[in-house]
Structure 1
Amino acid sequence: MPTDAQNTPHNAPALEFKSSTFSVPVLVLSSDDFVIIEQQLQKKTQLAPDFFKNSPVVFDVQWLNKQNLALDIKTLAAIIRKAGLLPIGIRGGNDAQNKHALELGIPVYSVHNSLAAEPKKAEAAPQKTAESPVVPATKVETTLITHPVRSGQRLYAEGDLIILAQVSAGAEILAEGNIHVYGSLRGRALAGVQGNTGARIFCSQLAAELISIAGIYKISEDMRDVVRDKPVQIYLQEHALIIKEIT
């Protein structure tokens, strides 16, 4: 009896590469003291162990190198793994650090790579001239989800994301625009993931593990004293997340 492999044409592709967008935390280092780094990293991950467990992370050593502070990449990677994170890249490294990272199987990213959206300084809009044609903006459709988002599911929308049900703990929803959840938000919600600082998050009941707009985030431990289990809107104001009850 022929197997499935025998029925597959020899010229049929076994794989393909596709472009995609992922939001990856960036660990920006401002100290070369490994004891302090380990203590603070352990403390941070213990605040939300389910969120940080086996989470990929890119570490940024650009500031340290500007201050001429030496850092051993192998030791740093070991500390990150000990905290339960998975180092998947280095950013802002010098030639020696990048070489060492590659020897450890850690990819090298340029400082211009945006793996996790980070706030950027607003640039002045170019003035229109008679020689500059006006290009119409591309309309991005809104994504509508009518069913609950279960634990372990991950949804991404290029525009706004509207969910007419609850988002369970352990689920992750991401949108380049706004996020609307007409139910309880218990998972992770990341709006403006491509750097849109004007994006907002709206939900009927806030009980999230993490909320983020344009890379600025709060975890559940940071939201103990804010409005919870009520309709709220979340937005950025002077690089700080504001959570305001909707009345």
Structure 2
Amino acid sequence: MSTDPQKTSSSPQALEFKSSTFSVPVLVLFNNSLQHIEQQLQEKIALAPDFFKHSPILLDLQELNKRNLDVPLAVLVKAIRELNLLPIGLRGGNAVQNRQALELGIPVHALHGGGSSQENAKTKTLAATPEQPAPNEDASTLLITQPVRSGQRVYSHGDLIVLATVSSGTEIMAEGNIHVYGSLRGRALAGVQGNEKARIFCSDLQAELISIAGIYKVSEDLSKEFRHKPVQIYLQDHSLIIKEI
């Protein structure tokens, strides 16, 4: 049966593939005890329940496999999902784990650069950025003049400047620096492609989460002395430093 080319070409467009960049928390496992994993996940989630609720995560098994520690992947994924986290990928797995992941409907991500995923004790991995590309100096600055409302997400391939309030429940991300000239109440992630020189500047710090190059702090970790004050935030020795402006 032949297809009428005219009918095919005149059909309304139903879909389109587009490239996109977004941040995803990476769950790096160092111990294969499901009891300890579940307990510590509950503790982390309790610190920022709104941030972690229904959050997509990438599972990283590289450190477990370096230590020859096996983990029942199906049981692990079930436990993670019961905590309202959504595994969307696996990296650092062996052949058996990769096959199991695909059987569970979880895509397998290749590791790049041969680097270790072991983190400093003060470092918390947030963005799935195994490579550390150089900052894009040609990227344009994105200027936002209206308030960023709850539920909105904003991404800039260069610097991001917001001349108004960033409300709770929002997420603003930039590959470069972030400047907020109103109150910062949502989540701010600078240097999301690995730019450790990126900084966050805001006139009124009330953030739910701040992050630079994947190293982050949630609101409970922020000292009260910096709340409601103009500050700058930057990385030093893999730790977030907050200073008044």
TM-score range, shorter chain: 0.7 to 0.9
**Coordinate RMSD, CA, aligned:** 2.2
Question: Who wins on radius of gyration, i.e. which is larger?
Answer: 1
Letter in 1 for 2:161: I
Give CA-to-partner distance per residue, 1:98-124, whole Å, 9 cap, x none: 10111110110011299623685x99x
The answer to whether structure 1 residue 59 and structure 2 residue 71 are counterparts is: no
Cα distance change of structure 1 residues 199 and 29 upon mapping to structure 2, 3 Å threshold: same
Q: 1:10 and 1:189 mapped to 2: Cα distance?
A: 43
Shift of 1:83: 1.7
- State the partner residue of 2:191: 192
Superposed counterparts of 1:84-233, under 5 Å: 84-112=84-112, 116-117=128-129, 139-233=138-232
Superposed counterparts of 1:17-36, under 5 Å: 17-36=17-36
Shift of 1:236: 0.1
Shift of 1:224: 3.7
Q: Is the 8 A contact 1:119 1:214 kept in 2?
A: no
- State the partner residue of 1:234: 233
Letter in 1 for 2:112: H
> How does the TM-score come out when normalised to structure 2?
0.87
Q: 1:191 and 1:150 mapped to 2: Cα distance?
A: 19
Q: Is the 8 A contact 2:112 2:131 kept in 1?
A: no
Q: 2:87 and 2:46 mapped to 1: Cα distance?
A: 18
Q: Is the 8 A contact 2:137 2:158 kept in 1?
A: no
Q: Is the 8 A contact 1:119 1:239 kept in 2?
A: no
3-state secondary structure, aligned to 1:19: coil
Q: 1:142 and 1:207 mapped to 2: Cα distance?
A: 24
Q: 2:219 and 2:227 mapped to 1: Cα distance?
A: 10
Letter in 2 for 1:167: V
Letter in 2 for 1:26: V
Q: 2:100 and 2:166 mapped to 1: Cα distance?
A: 41
Unaligned runs of 5+ in 2: 1-6, 114-125
Superposed counterparts of 1:63-74, under 5 Å: 63-74=63-74
Q: 1:241 and 1:118 mapped to 2: Cα distance?
A: 19
Cα distance change of structure 1 residues 17 and 115 upon mapping to structure 2, 3 Å threshold: farther
Q: 1:110 and 1:63 mapped to 2: Cα distance?
A: 15
Q: 1:191 and 1:173 mapped to 2: Cα distance?
A: 8
Count the aligned residue pairs. 226
Q: 1:180 and 1:65 mapped to 2: Cα distance?
A: 41
Q: Is the 8 A contact 1:28 1:59 kept in 2?
A: yes
Shift of 1:167: 0.3
Unaligned runs of 5+ in 1: 1-6, 124-136
Give CA-to-partner distance per residue, 1:30-55, whole Å, 9 cap, x none: 10010000000011011111111000
Letter in 1 for 2:168: A
3-state secondary structure, aligned to 2:226: coil
Q: Is the 8 A contact 1:119 1:197 kept in 2?
A: no
3-state secondary structure, aligned to 1:184: strand
Q: 1:115 and 1:50 mapped to 2: Cα distance?
A: 18
> How does the TM-score come out when normalised to structure 1?
0.86
